[in-house]
Each structure stands twice: as C-alpha cells, then as structure tokens.
Amino acid sequence: MINFITAGESHGKGIVVILEGIPAGLKLSLDEINKELARRQKGYGRGKRMEIEKDSAEIISGLRFGETIGSPICFIVYNKDWRKNDFNFENKGKTFQETNFKRLLNPRPGHADLAGAIKFFRSDLKDISERSSARETVGRVVAGSVCKQFLSQLNIFVGSFVTSIGKVKVNLDYLTTNYNLLIKLHNLAEKSVLRVTNMAVEKQMIKFIDETMLKKDTLGGEFVTFSVKNPIGLGSHTQWTSRLDAKIAFSMMSIPAVKSVEIGMGKVCGTKFGSEVHDEIFYSSKLKGKNLKFYRKTNNAGGIEGGISNGEPIIVRCTMKPIPTLGKPLKTVNIKTKKQNFADIIRSDVVAVPACSVIAESMLAITLTNEIKIKFGGDSIKELKKNYKNYAYLTQKF
Ligand code: EPS
C-alpha cells in the first residue's frame, strides 16, 4: 500500500511529506520533483505569495545514490515566507496571552476558520487557517511527482487541463479513448498561463479574471485530470472500499476547495438513455500493446466500470469553488466580541484553478500507484515489473 502524510503550516518553517510504500530501486529525479512544484506555483490570478516562494524539495530520507531503498521517503520544502514571530514554537517563557500577538478573529465564510476554531478550541483563527491553507498541497505534489516517476516505469502518464474559469468555458470533447489526443490537450495546456487548450478562450478568461480582481472578488472553475495506458483491473467490484472510482473521488475531494468530482460523463449521464451512455465493446487481435485486445470506441465511462479500470483513459472532472479569501470581505461574526463584522482581509489568490489541476494530477498519480501496488505487489521495482509483465501475458490467454 502507498501512504503519505504531510505536516506544516502555510507560514511555518516548511512543508514536510512522508511517503511510504514506493518499491526499492526506483531512480528518482529531484529536478522532476522541482519542476512539478514549479508547475503548481504557476497560473494567472495567483497571489503575491507565489512571487516570494520558489518551492524546491530537500530529501530527508528514503534514497541512496538517487534510488529508492524501500524505506519511507521524506522531503521538506522550506517556506521563504516563514513568519518567525507567528511561529514562535517554544514561546520562550511567555504564554500566548502575554505576547502582543495580533489574532485573526473574523472568520472567512467558506474557509475552515470558524468550524476549526470551535472544534479545536482555538482563540486565534490562525491556528486553523495556517494548516487549512492550500499551501499544504506542496507536500502532495512532491509525493505525486514521486508516484508519476513510478508510473512512467509502466508507461502510464497522468495529465490535466483546465476547462472553465468562472463562467468562461472551453468547449472540448475530451471523453475519448484516444490517449494521444489527451496527451496533446495536456501539452497545449502546458503552454497556457491558465492551463487551457484554447488561446482565444484564455484571453477571455484573463479579461474576466482582471475584472474580478478589480471587484476584489474571486473565481473558481473546472478542470479535467486523466491517466492513459492504464492496465485493465485496477480497483475491484468485490467490496465498496476497493472501488477505483470511489478512491479517486476521495482523493480529489480531499484537495482544498474541490466541490465536485465526476468520472467520465459524470452527472450528465442521468439525463440520457442507457444506449447513449454505455461504451460498446469490440475486439481486435491486431491491437498493439500488452493488454487484452478488447476495446471501446467511446469513453463515457471514463475508463472505469464496476469500480475497475477497463484499460481506456481514466478521465476525471473536478470543480473548484472560488477562493474564500475576498479582497472585499463578506459579513461574519467576530469570535471574541460576537459582534457582526467583516471577514479578515488576508493576502490571497483571485483564482487558483490551474494550480488545482496540477495538484489533482498528483492525487490521481498517488491513487493509481497505490492500486498498482495492491494488484501487482513487489518490494522492488524489478519484482513489480515482473509481476506486471506476467499479468499482461496471462490476459492474452484469457
Ligand atoms: C498557497 C499559499 C497561500 C495562498 C493560497 C495557497 O499564500 P498566502 O496565504 O501566504 O498568501 O496563496 O492559499 C489559499 C488559497 C487558501 O485558501 O488558503 C500555496 O502555496 O498554494
């Protein structure tokens, strides 16, 4: 099994991630990890913080001479914007009340501030907001990059592209079995400041973001994350906890601000006939590749049927809500005085959908790596690859 946890506050010393379960013998590139971190930082409409940080990971454990050794892999990404006064870990004899520390008292609607402060009985909302900040996703992207490097050993590729920012949409038919098309869309998105595939729409989106910024408001949007060259058989129909679509939905929903997850055709399928939705099955012995030669011409299922991958591209669409930190704050109640007030104004982004799509790639890569470990086992890359090859061989004899 693959497992990872993160630690760290947004303006603390740094973000730590511990990833366990990666087989031994995987050659890891730190450059690749740092490239992924840079991708997470990009995007038109990001806040000033991204001008301060240049995220780069330091390896703490789990590697020798550039190769995994099977033990937990630990990384730290230091925060350049470490606010040492706020994160006076030891307090040197003074209690929190004795310091002249400026508290955050006006919870932002839409953020974890109020529920978190009540739940953890904290008199400063910062004790909540510092950890609930999407800065935590730095750790996920580091873990995700390791998993992407693992998946590339099996030729599996994970990518993404943004399909809407606020009400501005890209019209795109991405429910396809053609993995080259999906990779092409991903590569186009890589050239865009909003990770979109259509530069004319990108212009409209930029204009809309600029207008929103002037209004001191924020935006959300939608994006598609996919994986291609997946083997048939990841996940299982036999138990609710084993279903691949459920696991993907969980990992996507865990990303801050993600409010909906759809696999394949998603919610639209509820308005259609069965004959319009289900992907008919074909067979060709001429098909290249190691999987069974069954194939589909459509991919409305998004590569998963009955909780099991069917070998077609896995396609997931997510919605990110608008950032809850507004320049023109919403009404709230001061937690100390209990008087009506406006939410605290904190530096933030206008929109972070492009970054969210990169984070979603990481979550999908981690989920798939876990499934591959469950299906094929193996403590070393060599052993796992052998098992993988053997399975592909077996399926030919089905
Ligand atoms: C983020 C860092 C934060 C925010 C953003 C994500 O930086 P700061 O709070 O110092 O300006 O830009 O946080 C949120 C969107 C949020 O809701 O907390 C990052 O590194 O991704």
Tens digits of residue pLDDT in 214-251: 999 999 999 999 999 999 999 999 999 999 999 999 99
Q: For the residues of 258-309, what is the DSSP string, one character each?
A: EEEEEETTGGGGGGS-HHHHS--EEE-TT--SSS-SEEES--TTTTEETTEE
Distance 323 CA to ligand 1 centre (A): 9
Q: Whose CA is nearest to atom 15 of ligand 1?
A: 134
How far apart are alpha carbons 19 and 1 in whole angstroms?
11
Tell me which residue range forms the domain holding 249: 3-91+99-396
Residue with tokens 């806040």: 47
Protein residue closest via CA to atom 18 of ligand 1: 133
Atom of ligand 1 nearest to the CA of 348: 11
Cβ of 352 less than 6 Å from ligand 1? yes
Atom number, ligand 1, closest to the C-alpha of residue 325: 17
The minimum-distance atom of ligand 1 relative to the CA of 111 is 17
* 3 state DSSP class of 60: strand
**CA of 199 relative to ligand 1 center, distance in Å:** 27
The 10s digit of each residue's pLDDT in 329-383 is 999 999 999 999 999 988 999 999 999 999 999 999 999 999 999 999 999 999 9
Please give the average pLDDT of every successive group of 10 residues along the chain, which has 398 residues. 97 97 98 98 95 97 98 98 83 68 92 98 95 98 98 97 98 96 98 98 98 97 97 96 98 98 98 98 76 84 97 97 96 97 93 98 98 97 94 66
> Which residue has the CA at smallest separation from atom 4 of ligand 1?
348
| Amino acid identity, position 41 | Q
| CA gap 291, 285 in Å, rounded | 11
Does residue 348 line the site of ligand 1, with CB under 6 A? yes
**Total domain count, the chain:** 1
Q: How far apart are the first and last CA of the chain?
A: 27
CA 156 remoteness from chain centre: 17
Q: What is the CATH number of the domain that holds 156?
A: 3.60.150.10
What is the helix (H) or strand (E) element at residue 164, kind and residue range? Answer: strand 157-165
C-alpha 33/C-alpha 358 separation (Å) is 12
